[in-house]
Structure 1
Amino acid sequence: MIAINDLTYEIGSRALYDEANWHIKPGEKIGLIGANGTGKTTLLKLIVGDLKATSGTISKSKELTIGYLNQDLLSYASDKSILHVAMEAFERQNQLHDEIEDLLKKLESDYSEDILHKLSDKQSEFEALDGYNIEYKAHEILAGLGFSDADTERKLSTFSGGWRMRVMLAKILLQAPDILLLDEPTNHLDLPSIQWLEDYLKAFEGAVVIVSHDRWFLDKVINKTVESRKGKLNVYPGNYSFYVEEKEMRGEIQRNEFKNQQQKIKQEERLIERFRAKASKAKMAQSRIKALDNLERVEDVDDDNPSVNFSFRFSKQSGRHVINIEHLTKKYPTIDIVEDAHAIIEKGDKIALIGANGRGKSTVLRIIAGADNDFEGKSETGYNVTQTFFAQHQLEALHLESEILQELQAFAPKHNETELRSILGSFLFTGDDVFKKIKVLSGGEKSRVALAKALTADANFLILDEPTNHLDIQSVNILIQALQQYEGTVIAVSHDRYFLDNIANKIWFIEDHQIKVYPGTYAEYEIWQAKRKLEAKSAPAAPQPKKEVKKETVTVKQPTEDKSKQLKKLNQDLTGMEQKIAELEKTVKQLEAELSDEKIYKQQNRLQEVNKNLKQKQQELKQQQEKWEVLADQILEMEEN
C-alpha cells in the first residue's frame, strides 16, 4: 500500500529521519506516536507529498486515495452550509447531479433520443454511486460528530475553529479513502463524539494512521503502534498498552546487554593495559585494541518516562466540605444548564466532570471557582479552602514580558529554582527554554506555562478545565503522577479518558439538568453507563422505579429455592465465570505473545488468523467480565438484604 524505504529528512543540519523504514498494509489500524518534535506530523506531510524527502523513497500503490486530516484545516472558511461543505466529498456524484439537472431542463424543450440516452446514462451512474443516499450519509456522520439537524444548515463561517475541524473530518470520512491519515483527530471533539469516531474507525475497512496523545482512544482503535524515535520508525504489533509493555521488555533486554557489554569492555581494557607494558605481549595488546575499536556498541536505554520529582505544597488544610451547591439554577437564553441542582465536594474528592460539549461543564466549573456569579441558588466555599483555577482563558493573565522561569518564581516564591525547573521540564521546557519570554511562545506553550503555574499554587483545591490540551503523552503522565500524590481536592473537565480514569475517584455528569454522581473511576462509570443504556432499551413501556431496573435486566434466572440455596447457586455460577475468564485471559496472553514474535510477520495467513482470534477472545473476555460484574452485584445485594 505504502512503502517507506531508507527515508531521510533533514531540517538544516538536523536529520529528523535517518534512513527510516516502514510498510503500511491494507486494513491496518496504526498509531504513530513519539515525543513532541520527533517528526510525526512531518512524516504525514511527507506521505501526502506536502514535503519532499532529502533522500530515500515513499512508494504508493497506483490509484491509492488518501484522506488527510491536519491542524491546518482549522483556518478553512466558507459561507456555504456545513452540509454542503461535507457533501463536497462526493465530487463525482455532485457533478452527475448537476449534469442530470441540466439535462432535465433541456428535456423540457428538446425530446431528442440523444438527450434521453445521456440522461439515462447519467442517472444509471448516479444510482450506481449511491447518489440518492449521499445526503443521508452526510447527515449521519455530522450527527455522529455532534451536529444537530439545525446546525447542518448554518454557514461554516459561523462556527468556531474546533467545530469547523469537525466538518472537515466529516468530509474526509465521507470520501471513504483507501487510507486515513489523522493528525490529532480528537483535539476538538467531546466524549460522545470521540466514542462515535472510535466505533467508526474500528469498522472502517481501509487503513488508518493516527497521530494522537489520547492513549485511551489509541487503545480502542489501533492494532499496531509505530514509534518515531531518534530518526527511526520502530514497529510494535499491538495497541498502545501493548507497546508500553513490549517497550519495557525490549528496554530491559537492551539494558542488560549494555551492562554485560560494559563489563566485558572494562575487562578488555584492563587486559590491554597489562599487556601493553610487556614487549612480548605488545602485538596481542594491539590486536585487542583493534577488536575493541570495531566492537558494535550497545546503547544504554534512555528513560522516556520520568517520574515526578516535585511535590505540591499548601500551607493549610481545608474543612470537610469544600463546595456546597444548593438549589443551583443556571440558564442561558437558548439553553438550560442546571435547574434546582444540589451537589457537595468533600475534602479529598478527585472529581471528573464529564459530558458532551454544550451541556455546561465549563459553566459549572466557573460557578464553583467564583468566576460566574450570574445564577440562582447557592455555591458556597467551605472553611479554609484555598483554590486555583486553570482554564484556557488563564493564558491572558500571563505577563508577556516575563521569562518563563520568572513567571513561576513571581507566582510561587516558596519553590526554589530547582523545583520550578523540574516542573517546567515536565511540561517540555528544558535547558535555556526557561529563559524564553512569554510573548514569543505559541498558544500551546502558553497553555503549558499556565498549567505549570497552577501546580505551584498554595492551594488545597484545584479546579482544572481541559488541563491536558497541548500536552504529549509523557507530560500527561507527569500530570497524572502529580495529581495522584496531591493530598488536596480536585475537580477536572477533560476529554482525555486515560487522564480521568487515573485521577478521579468520583464522576459528575449533568443529566436532566441535575448534577449526578457516580462513586467510582471513569472505567467503572463507562461499564455502568453501558448497562444503563442496555436496561433502558430492554425496559417495558410502562414507567418502572429506578431501583428496580437493575434487578429486571439481570439475565440470570431467579431460582425458586430459599435464599441460601439461591446464593449457593449464584456463587457456583460466579466461580464458573471466573474460571472461564482466567482461561480467556491466558489465551489472550498467548496470542499477544505470538504476535510479539517478529517471525509471524513472514506468515501472512497465520498473522491474519492470530489477529482474528485475538479480537474474538478479547471480545469474549470483555463480555464475560461484564456478566461477572452483573452477577457479583446481584450476589452482593442479596447478601446485604
Structure 2
Amino acid sequence: MSSEDIAEEIRTSFPGAEEVIVQYLSGYLVDDAGEEEDVLQVAQQILSSLAGGRVDVVQKLMHRLGDLLEEQLTARMKKRGGPKLMKLDKAMDLSKTAMSNTIALAEGVDLESINKGKASRVDVKKLEKQEAKLRAKIDKRARRDLYEGSKLLDAHRKQQTYEEMFMKINPLEASASAKNKSKDIHLPSIDVNFASNRILSGASLTLAYGRRYGLIGRNGVGKSTLLRHIAMREVPIPAHITILFVEQEIIGDDTTAIDSVLKADVWRDHLLKEETTLNAKLAILEKEGDEKRFEDEREELSSRLADVHARLSDMDAESGPARAAALLAGLGFDDADQKKPTRSFSGGWRMRLALARALFVKPALLLLDEPSNHIDLNALAWLEDYLQTWPGTLLVVSHDRAFLDAVATDIVHQHSGRLDYYKGNFTQFYSTKSERDRNLRKEYDTQMEYRAHLQAFIDRWRYNANRAAQAQSKIKILEKLPDLQPPEQEETEKFKFPETEKISPPLLQLSDVTFYYTLEKILLKSVYFDVGLDSRIAIVGANGAGKSTLIKLLTGELTSIAGQVNRNGRLRVGYFAQHHVDSLDPSMSPVQFLASKFPGKTEQEYRSHLGNFQISGMTGLQLIGTLSGGQKSRVAFAVLSLQHPHILLLDEPTNHLDIEGLDALMVALGAWNGGVIVISHDERFITTVAKELWVCGDGTVRKFMGDVQSYKKLIVSNIKARP
C-alpha cells in the first residue's frame, strides 16, 4: 500500500482538506511511523480536528485505513513485541559477554565481542547498514516534524484573511472592556517551543505600556518565534490588549495604497460600515412616519448609532485619510503612488505598506521584525523619528544599533532560554552588560582562587594532628561558599577576506555617464565616479533614486546610454546583491555550492574557507535551503571572497546579519586592502566602514559634506517641512 493510495482515501473523505495535511498524514502512516506508536490513534486525532463534528466520517475513514494498512500494522506490532523468551539449556554469565550497542540505536554495532572466536550467522555489513538507515530515519523524522509544523502553521495563516485574523486576535468586544484596564504585560513564567525545540523555559515576559523594547539575540535563538507566539496569543496576553505583528508583505490586489492603509484598521472599517447600515435603517423608519410600533426599534437603532459614534470618535476616525496619507508619505509614497493599486508595487514596497498599515492601526502592542531591512535610509530616518513618540508598547527585533539607540527605551536580551531586561538604548545596554560581565568574571575568578587556596591548605594539613582542627574549619568554610556558575563566554565571530594584489590605476571610472530606461525618467545624468583600491564609499538615497543602477553600471551588468566607463582589464569585482539568496542553490550544501562554483579543491579546503565566515561543523553540510538568513549571507560572503576581488560592491550587506556577524564584517572590511562601495541603511556600519558619503538623487550622484547623522537630520527636517 503506497502513501498516494492513503492520500487519495483522505481526499475522498475530506475533499476540502489542505494538501499539506493530506501529504503529511499519508507519509506518516505508510513510511514514518515508529513501532512504538499507535499510528491510527494519532491519525484519528488529526482527522477529528478537520472533521468539524462529523464523527461518522472519521470513523468510516479509520476503518478503511485500518483495512488497507493491516499488513503493515501487523508487521509493526510483531516488531514492537521484540524477541520471544526461550528457555536456555544452561545458565549464561552475561557479565562476560559484551552486549551489542545496537539496542541503544545511538552507537555503532559491537559484534566482535559477542561469541568471540565462533562463526557468526549475522551479516555484519547488512546489520550496520540497517542500523544506519534507522538512525537516518529518526533524524529525518525530527527534521520533518519541525518543517511540517512550520508549513502547517503558515498554511493555517494563509487560509484566513487579514480581517478574519485581526478580529480573531483582537475581538471588537475586547475593545469595549479595555477602558480603565492596565495595558502592562507581566507574565512571570512562560515556555515557548517550536516543534521539539525549546525557545524559552520559565522566562519572564514584562512589557510596560508606553515603553519601546528592542529584542536582541544571536541568529537562530528564536526571537521571531517569540514574536509569533505573542502575536497569536499563544502566550496569555490579556484579551483587552490589542496586538499587531508586521511580518509579511501584503498581498497585492486592485486596492489603492491609501485605501489599503485605511482598511487595515478593521475596527474602524467595521464601525463605519455599521454606521452606514444604521443610518439607512433609520432613514427607512423615518419614512414610515410616527407609528408607535416603530418607536422601540427606532430607539434601539439610535442608541446603537450613538454608541458607534462614540467609539469612532475615541479612535479619531475622521482624521483617518489624512493620517494614512502622512504615514505613506513618510515611508516614501508620493501622491501618485498612494493612488496606485497594491499589486503594482514590488515586494520591498509592499513591506512598507504593511508597516504603514500597522502604524495606522495604533495597536496597544506593536511587534516589528527587522523593519529596517525593507526600507532605505530616508524612510528609516523618518521611521526612527516617528516611533520616538509611539503612544503604545513597541517590541522590535533589530540588529541595527543606531536604530535601537534612536528608538528603544529598554533592551530585552534573549539567550540561554531566558529574557534579560536592561533600561536604556543599545549603547547603554552594551555598557551595562559589559560592566556586569566583568564583575561576574571577577567575582568568579576571586572565588575560584579562594577555593583553591582553601583546598591547598586542606590537602596539606588534613592528616596532620596539630593542624587537623584548622583543616576541618577550612572544609566547613569551603562547603558554605556559594556555588557560582562560570559566566557565559561571549562568542566572537571573525570574517576574513583574502589580500588582493595591487594593480595600476585607474581601476574603475564613470565619466559623464547617463543612463535611463525611458526618456521620461532619466535615472542618472552626467555622473563622474572614480573607484580605487583605497576607496571606502557609502552611497545613500531614496529607493528608486538609482543606487542599484549605479552599482550595475560599475559591475558591467548595465551599459551606459552616454558617457564612458573605464575598467582595468585585470580588475576583479565582487558583487553582493541585495537579494543574494537568489544566487544560492537551496538544494545544495554550502560545501557543494562552493565546489560547483570553484572546482578543484578538497572538501576540507572548502569547509576551512567557509569557516572564515563562521559556517563551521555540520552547518557546511546542511542544505542551503534550511539555513537562516544570516547563515545564507555568510555563505554569500564566502563565495565572494573566492573570487579574490580587487573591489567589493555591497548592496545592503547588513540585512539578516546579527550584531556579532555585523561586527565581524566591519572588522574584516577595515583590515582588507581592496576598495569597498556600500549601499546601506545601517548608520553604524556606514560610519565605521566608509570614509565618503555620496547621495544619489535628482538624476545625479554627488558627494555629501557631512556624516550620516547630519544627512538623516536633513531628511527628517525636509519631510516635516512638506505641506
Interval of TM-score (by shorter of Structure 1 and Structure 2): 0.7 to 0.9
- Cα distance, 1:320 vs structure 2: 3.4
Distance (whole Å) between structure 1 residues aligned to residue 265 and residue 574 of structure 2: 49
Secondary structure at the residue paired with 1:453?
helix
Distance (whole Å) between structure 1 residues aligned to residue 408 and residue 703 of structure 2: 32
Distance (whole Å) between structure 1 residues aligned to residue 454 and residue 225 of structure 2: 44
Q: Deviations over 1:568-615 (max 9, x none)?
A: xxxxxxxxxxxxxxxxxxxxxxxxxxxxxxxxxxxxxxxxxxxxxxxx
Distance (whole Å) between structure 2 residues aligned to residue 74 and residue 494 of structure 1: 21
Choose the corresponding residue for 2:502, options 294, 308, 317.
317
How do residues 246-265 of structure 1 correspond to structure 2 at under 5 angstroms? 246-265=432-451
How do residues 44-123 of structure 1 correspond to structure 2 at under 5 angstroms? 44-52=227-235, 58=236, 60=238, 63-69=240-246, 71=247, 73-74=248-249, 76=251, 78-102=253-277, 107=283, 110-111=286-287, 112=289, 121=306
Distance (whole Å) between structure 2 residues aligned to residue 92 and residue 173 of structure 1: 14
- Cα distance, 1:469 vs structure 2: 1.7
- Cα distance, 1:178 vs structure 2: 2.0
Greater Cα offset, 341-350 or 485-494: 341-350
Q: Deviations over 1:75-132 (max 9, x none)?
A: 6455433323211243343334334444555638944576997577478544564333
Tell me, yes or no, if structure 1 residue 498 matches structure 2 residue 498.
Answer: no
Greater Cα offset, 204-213 or 400-409: 400-409
Choose the corresponding residue for 2:654, options 456, 461, 468.
468
Secondary structure at the residue paired with 1:87?
helix
Distance (whole Å) between structure 2 residues aligned to residue 47 and residue 194 of structure 1: 25
Structure-2 residue corresponding to 1:209: 395
Change (3 A) 1:297 1:150: same
Amino acid at match of 2:362: A
Tell me, yes or no, if structure 1 residue 351 matches structure 2 residue 534.
Answer: no
Distance (whole Å) between structure 2 residues aligned to residue 339 and residue 466 of structure 1: 24
Secondary structure at the residue paired with 2:210?
coil
User: Contact 2:542/2:697 (CA < 8 Å) preserved in 1?
Assistant: no
User: Contact 2:538/2:694 (CA < 8 Å) preserved in 1?
Assistant: yes
Q: Deviations over 1:399-423 (max 9, x none)?
A: 5665323544676799998996576
Computing the radius of gyration from Cα coordinates, the structure with the larger value is: 2
Secondary structure at the residue paired with 2:654?
coil
Tell me, yes or no, if structure 1 residue 181 matches structure 2 residue 355.
Answer: no
Change (3 A) 1:439 1:101: closer
Choose the corresponding residue for 1:375, options 549, 558, 561.
561
User: Contact 2:189/2:202 (CA < 8 Å) preserved in 1?
Assistant: yes
- Cα distance, 1:503 vs structure 2: 0.4
Amino acid at match of 1:141: L
User: Contact 1:317/1:384 (CA < 8 Å) preserved in 2?
Assistant: no
Change (3 A) 1:288 1:496: same
Distance (whole Å) between structure 2 residues aligned to residue 443 and residue 285 of structure 1: 58
Change (3 A) 1:510 1:14: closer
Structure-1 residue corresponding to 2:200: 17
| Cα root mean square deviation, aligned | 3.6
Q: Deviations over 1:432-473 (max 9, x none)?
A: 111223355466643431122213431111111111122111
Distance (whole Å) between structure 2 residues aligned to residue 413 and residue 481 of structure 1: 29
User: Contact 1:339/1:513 (CA < 8 Å) preserved in 2?
Assistant: yes
Distance (whole Å) between structure 2 residues aligned to residue 155 and residue 36 of structure 1: 36
User: Contact 2:364/2:392 (CA < 8 Å) preserved in 1?
Assistant: yes
Tell me, yes or no, if structure 1 residue 159 matches structure 2 residue 345.
Answer: yes
User: Contact 2:493/2:614 (CA < 8 Å) preserved in 1?
Assistant: no
User: Contact 1:96/1:122 (CA < 8 Å) preserved in 2?
Assistant: no
Distance (whole Å) between structure 2 residues aligned to residue 476 and residue 464 of structure 1: 13
Distance (whole Å) between structure 2 residues aligned to residue 519 and residue 412 of structure 1: 42
Choose the corresponding residue for 1:337, options 523, 534, 553.
523
- Cα distance, 1:186 vs structure 2: 1.8
- Cα distance, 1:370 vs structure 2: 0.7
Aligned length: 527
Distance (whole Å) between structure 2 residues aligned to residue 428 and residue 309 of structure 1: 7
| TM-score normalised according to structure 2 size | 0.65
Change (3 A) 1:444 1:381: same
Structure-2 residue corresponding to 1:29: 212
Amino acid at match of 2:668: A
Change (3 A) 1:265 1:455: farther
Tell me, yes or no, if structure 1 residue 38 matches structure 2 residue 221.
Answer: yes
How do residues 153-552 of structure 1 correspond to structure 2 at under 5 angstroms? 153-277=339-463, 292=478, 295-304=481-490, 306=492, 308=494, 310-314=496-500, 316-333=501-518, 335-373=521-559, 375-382=561-568, 384-392=570-578, 394-398=580-584, 402-408=588-594, 424-425=610-611, 427=613, 429-438=615-624, 440-441=626-627, 445-518=631-704, 521-523=707-709, 525-526=711-712, 529=714
Distance (whole Å) between structure 1 residues aligned to residue 234 and residue 717 of structure 2: 49
Distance (whole Å) between structure 1 residues aligned to residue 350 and residue 362 of structure 2: 19
Distance (whole Å) between structure 1 residues aligned to residue 654 and residue 686 of structure 2: 10
User: Contact 2:630/2:658 (CA < 8 Å) preserved in 1?
Assistant: no
Distance (whole Å) between structure 1 residues aligned to residue 385 and residue 423 of structure 2: 21
Amino acid at match of 1:514: T
Change (3 A) 1:328 1:223: same
Amino acid at match of 2:207: I
